[in-house]
């Protein structure tokens, strides 16, 4: 959320205490839920009933894992069919698809699905109902690969280490109209869009869609796999906690106290609405991000400190990693971020200014109108069931000497600090305004910037604080 | 339809006769229906019931004309409020809106309508139902105009001759994100898109939406106004003719015998389906077209000859002008072309290869995948009620010595001629292959190209024959 890039709050409140919660509260119960549910949940695709949680798109959560009893058969089959090597981002999409974040999608998009995504940000199901689907989930191949596939109706997908990942069957190969895909997804074709440069420009001129059968759950062995809960696992966790409302907070940057205030306040509002046990899904994005974002491992360390410091209540907070790559496609992408969380059981979605936005890669302006994200989200087909909670902007109120939600009727009482100022502070190992971020979390950020070797021009990646 | 640019048919059949139908058959009954219905239909907005015809979008046809009794009041009011001068294309959109082609839209789009159009190609109505709306219908103003409007909640719209056209009230002024509008509408931002250069690039950085009240019906005084039937007038005409099915054929180029075969065959198919009196709406686009398209007046003369020559049956054909400007936005625009015809009473829509397509303005290829138009149309939200009839491609069958629908199982038996060849023939005043176009229609085309003064490079506009 570039939203908060320019808006965060300063408080000089020195009495703010940071009680040390036991470290196990971070992802509390999550390891357990993983270890218990993993085997049963991922062995074969099936419909699940999650009492009290919002229904997944299409009525049931689609998991695309091969039954354990079928694995050997599939592995043998994979040796006999054409093979395609997946990029890092391709693999992240296989992960996303395999766990049902994109339910009811059953694999990489065929052309009819891509066209609906590009033109309508939604898919029409056989029963006439509509689910949201705003970003293309497609697999590109080049001419040589297309020729190699020939008349085969299925292919095997391998990772960069030549491990078998999945089989794609009932395939459909169709043209990769890159310019049109980019224009309709991003609303610009300006050069320098991070995802485009990383995952589209140099890829092949064909797309291949089909039904995906994933041999076993995707793991990254980076020490963070235990935080990568699938939608099914999250639903089980919410059910176990007796959640009667789940509110999701997507982020791809360090958590500051403005976020915390927002999340705490959201829970308060939900309690006021009559919910007995609203649970927060604090859901950092774990797939591809651009080079100047804070990397996932540093963000997770920072989030951990925030929870340890007691800024958020671990008992009503589930921290998990959302495996999707980041498009930075603003109003188009925020729909994907929201839709995927429905599948994970969230019925409330917090949206800020300029969600999934960034600076225009060429012109000196934001790429998207900061208000379009929440407007588009509120009108998006297939998201009617989701309650959209627009951000209130928090800022430091000089008259109260604490952070509160900004009151536009008395702007002179508030202080905002820019993201550039923030980055400069972290880079110079200075402390932020009291109450901006818990000291432990701030320390992680300082360490991160300290770990970077400045590039030739001496510039460091920006610490965008939202 | 760039579709037929490369595909039309040749027949050497010299016995083809062109019986002279009385000229009054062209638009037969149309003058009458205009003179009778004009007064009653345009005096005030009201819901109409048209027995047996498809319902307009939103349930009733929206007409935005000021009641005759209110005209003087409105004219006086217009003198007291800020005024904006309309471009030629702006005026065409006022025309479109005023007659309800874009029903249920009641004026130039406000931001929420534009966002839905750009992201979802549809509008959600208050009752939760969805209507298609794929192209932005917006009015741009510049900084000076915005300042001049100030706090006024309404403005007066004037044409280039300073005649009052309409009042726009309950106005909303919002940013004109041109790049994003273009990218999401055309799927490209390449320079050289005709509508963009004509109506977007040089226009202001703000858009102004609101409710439109049009003082009186838009007239062009070009001798063709009698052919500009409103949706209400068309519905009355179809009802008068006892149509139980109306099939619309959008075109912006001269009619050749391939089109005629297609239209005749469509009627045959509809009769086979059990309809008793299918009526063809032959509906040339009358608004802005790019410089190398054949101008409206020449096209109308050509269409007139085609009807005179008996290629189409005047008794079951209504020729009328569709007042919309042309975007050349392919799959996005074809939805608009179809949706507008629902409002005019058509429940069948004929779609060809690459509808509303053109060459890429920069690269050497078609801008759109030739099959995307009909695919997108078949999946478009809000168009479920419309029966989409994909083109069958006609060609000259050497074994039968006549035009028939192309049979891909025996391609060697068919002859196609390119659009370039076509243009060269017309330019050189040579005759086309027998049966390609009725002689009278061809003569009009030859006259048109003869009337052009070649530009410096000696190149003439292309006669794209579909």
Q: Are A349 and B349 in contact (CB under 8 A)?
A: no
Output the average pLDDT for chain B: 86
Cβ–Cβ contact B398 with A under 8 A: no
Distance of CA A164 to the CA centre of its chain: 25
Contact A180 B380 (CB under 8 A): no
B24 pLDDT more than 50: no
Contact B112 A189 (CB under 8 A): no
Closest residue in B to A375 (Cα) is B112
Closest residue in A to B367 (Cα) is A180
Backbone angles phi, psi at A445, to 5 degrees: -65, -45
Best of A114, A136, A180, A338 to substitute, by most chain B Cβ atoms within 10 angstroms, is A180
Specify whether the backbone of B380 is left (phi greater than 0), alpha (psi in -120 to 50) or beta: beta
B contacts of A356 (beta carbons < 8 Å): none
Model confidence band, residue B6 (pLDDT cutoffs 50, 70, 90)? very low
**Residue reference for tokens 């208050």:** B126
Q: What is the pLDDT of residue A61?
A: 97
Residue among B131, B404, B99 nearest B228 (CA): B99
Contact A369 B189 (CB under 8 A): no
In chain B, the percentage of residues whose pLDDT exceeds 90 is 68
Query: What does pLDDT average to in each consecutive run of 10 residues of chain A (466 residues)?
Result: 28 27 33 30 40 91 97 97 98 98 98 98 96 98 98 98 98 98 98 98 98 98 97 97 96 86 92 96 97 93 89 92 98 98 97 92 96 97 95 78 82 75 79 82 90 62 45
Cβ–Cβ contact B189 with A under 8 A: yes
Q: Give dist(CA B22, CA B314) in Å, integer.
A: 10
The mean pLDDT value for B103-121 works out to 98
Partner residue facing A369 (CB), from B119, B175, B188 = B175
Residue B202 vs residues A76, B195, B197, B205: alpha-carbon distances, Å: 62, 11, 7, 9
Contact B179 A186 (CB under 8 A): no
Instruction: Give the single-character DSSP code of B326.
Output: P
Closest CA of chain A from B187, distance in Å: 4
A230-A235-A240 Cα angle (round to 5): 125
Q: Are B248 and B283 in contact (CB under 8 A)?
A: yes
Backbone angles phi, psi at B256, to 5 degrees: -115, 175
B214 pLDDT more than 80: yes
A contacts of B332 (beta carbons < 8 Å): 119
Cβ–Cβ contact A290 with B under 8 A: no
Asked whether the bond before B104 is cis by omega within 30 degrees of 0, the reply is yes
Cβ–Cβ contact B180 with A under 8 A: yes
Q: What is the pLDDT of residue B26?
A: 38
Q: Give dist(CA B248, CA B404) in Å, integer.
A: 21
Cβ–Cβ contact B115 with A under 8 A: yes
Partner residue facing B112 (CB), from A186, A189, A379 = A379
> Model's pTM, two decimal places?
0.88
Cβ–Cβ contact A359 with B under 8 A: no
Closest CA of chain A from B203, distance in Å: 19
Domain boundaries, chain A: 68-214, 225-322+392-451
In chain B, the percentage of residues whose pLDDT exceeds 70 is 84
Q: Are A8 and A403 in contact (CB under 8 A)?
A: no
Specify whether the backbone of B417 is left (phi greater than 0), alpha (psi in -120 to 50) or beta: beta
A contacts of B127 (beta carbons < 8 Å): none
pLDDT in tens, B280-309: 999 999 999 999 889 999 999 999 998 888
Partner residue facing A115 (CB), from B183, B184, B372 = B372
Per-residue burial over A371-400, b = 16 or more CB atoms within 10 Å of its CB, e = otherwise: bbbbbbbebbbbbeebbbbbbebbbbbeee
Q: What is the pLDDT of residue A457?
A: 52
Contact B119 A376 (CB under 8 A): yes
Cβ–Cβ contact A187 with B under 8 A: yes
Q: Give dist(CA A337, CA A390) in Å, integer.
A: 14
Closest CA of chain B from A375, distance in Å: 8
Q: What is the pLDDT of residue A460?
A: 52
Q: Give dist(CA A394, CA A164) in Å, integer.
A: 48
Q: Crossing angle, helix A178-186 and helix A111-120, to 10 degrees?
A: 40
The mean pLDDT value for B316-340 works out to 97
Q: What is the pLDDT of residue B429?
A: 86
A contacts of B381 (beta carbons < 8 Å): 120, 122, 124, 130, 381
Given the candidates 3.40.190.10, 3.90.79.10, 3.90.1170.10, 3.10.400.10, the CATH classification of the domain at A68-214 is: 3.10.400.10
Best of A183, A365, A375 to substitute, by most chain B Cβ atoms within 10 angstroms, is A183
Residue A268: partners with Cβ closer than 8 Å, 6 or more residues away: none
Partner residue facing A116 (CB), from B190, B368, B379 = B379
Contact A331 B119 (CB under 8 A): yes
Instruction: Give the single-character DSSP code of A109.
Output: P
Q: Beta B206-214 vs B164-175: how paired, if at all?
A: antiparallel
B108 pLDDT more than 80: yes
Cβ–Cβ contact B183 with A under 8 A: yes
Model confidence band, residue B210 (pLDDT cutoffs 50, 70, 90)? very high
Contact A331 B376 (CB under 8 A): no
A contacts of B122 (beta carbons < 8 Å): 120, 381
Query: What end-to-end distance do the CA atoms of chain B give, in Å?
Result: 6
B260 pLDDT more than 70: yes
Partner residue facing A375 (CB), from B112, B188, B380 = B112
Indicate if the alpha-carbon torsion angle A423, A424, A425, A427 is positive or negative.
positive
B contacts of A372 (beta carbons < 8 Å): 115
Structural tokens at position A130: 């509509």
Structural tokens at position A269: 């509002």
Q: Give dist(CA B238, CA A36) in Å, integer.
A: 68
Most confident of A380-394, B30-44, B200-214, B400-414: B200-214
Q: What is the DSSP string of B32-74?
A: HHHHHHHHHHHSS------TTSPPPTTSS----BPPGGGHHHH
B contacts of A119 (beta carbons < 8 Å): 121, 331-332, 376, 379-380
Q: What is the pLDDT of residue A425?
A: 82
Q: What is the pLDDT of residue B11?
A: 27
Which architecture does CATH list for A225-322+392-451?
A: 3-Layer(aba) Sandwich (3.40)
Closest CA of chain A from B210, distance in Å: 18
Closest CA of chain B from A134, distance in Å: 9
pLDDT in tens, B377-424: 999 999 999 999 987 787 777 787 667 788 899 999 887 765 566 777
pLDDT in tens, B47-93: 344 458 999 999 999 999 999 999 999 999 999 999 999 999 999 99
Give the number of other CB atoms < 10 A from CB of residue B342: 26
Contact B115 A376 (CB under 8 A): yes
């Amino acid at each position: 959320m570039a939203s908060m890039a320019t808006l965060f709050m300063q408080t000089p409140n020195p009495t703010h205490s940071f009680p040390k919660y036991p470290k196990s509260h971070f992802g509390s119960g999550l390891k357990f839920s993983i270890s218990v549910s993993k085997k049963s949940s991922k062995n074969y695709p099936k419909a699940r009933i999650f009492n009290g949680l919002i229904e997944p798109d299409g009525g049931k959560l689609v998991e695309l894992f091969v039954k354990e009893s079928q694995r050997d058969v599939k592995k043998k089959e994979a040796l006999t069919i054409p093979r395609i090597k997946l990029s890092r981002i391709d693999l992240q999409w296989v992960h996303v698809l395999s766990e049902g974040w994109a339910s009811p999608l059953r694999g990489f998009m065929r052309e009819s699905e891509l066209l609906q995504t590009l033109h309508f940000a939604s898919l029409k199901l056989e029963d006439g109902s509509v689910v949201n689907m705003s970003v293309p989930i497609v697999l590109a191949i080049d001419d040589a690969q297309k020729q190699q596939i020939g008349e085969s109706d299925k292919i095997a997908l391998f990772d960069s280490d030549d491990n078998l990942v999945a089989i794609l069957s009932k395939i459909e190969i169709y043209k990769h109209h890159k310019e049109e895909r980019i224009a309709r997804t991003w609303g610009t074709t300006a050069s320098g869009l991070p995802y485009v440069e990383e995952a589209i420009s140099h890829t092949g001129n064909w797309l291949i869609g089909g039904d995906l059968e994933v041999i076993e759950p995707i793991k990254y062995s980076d020490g963070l796999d235990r935080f990568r809960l699938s939608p099914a696992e999250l639903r089980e966790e919410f059910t176990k906690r007796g959640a009667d409302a789940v509110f999701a907070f997507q982020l791809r940057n360090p958590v500051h106290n403005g976020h915390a205030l927002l999340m705490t306040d959201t829970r308060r509002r939900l309690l006021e609405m009559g919910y007995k046990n609203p649970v927060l899904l604090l859901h950092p994005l774990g797939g591809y991000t651009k080079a100047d974002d804070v990397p996932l491992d540093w963000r997770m360390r920072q989030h951990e400190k925030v929870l340890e410091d007691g800024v958020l209540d671990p008992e009503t907070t589930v921290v998990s990693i959302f495996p999707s790559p980041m498009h930075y496609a603003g109003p188009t992408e925020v729909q994907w971020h929201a839709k995927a969380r429905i599948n994970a059981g969230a019925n409330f979605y917090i949206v800020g200014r300029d969600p999934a936005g960034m600076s225009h890669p060429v012109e000196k302006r934001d790429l998207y109108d900061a208000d379009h994200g929440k407007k588009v989200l509120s009108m998006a087909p297939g998201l009617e069931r989701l309650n959209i909670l627009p951000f209130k902007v928090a800022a430091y109120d000089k008259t109260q000497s604490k952070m509160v939600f900004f009151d536009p009727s008395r702007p002179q009482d508030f202080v905002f600090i820019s993201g550039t100022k923030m980055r400069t502070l972290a880079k110079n190992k200075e402390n932020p305004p009291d109450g901006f971020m818990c000291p432990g979390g701030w320390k992680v950020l300082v360490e991160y910037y300290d770990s970077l070797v400045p590039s030739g021009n001496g510039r460091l990646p920006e610490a965008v604080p939202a």
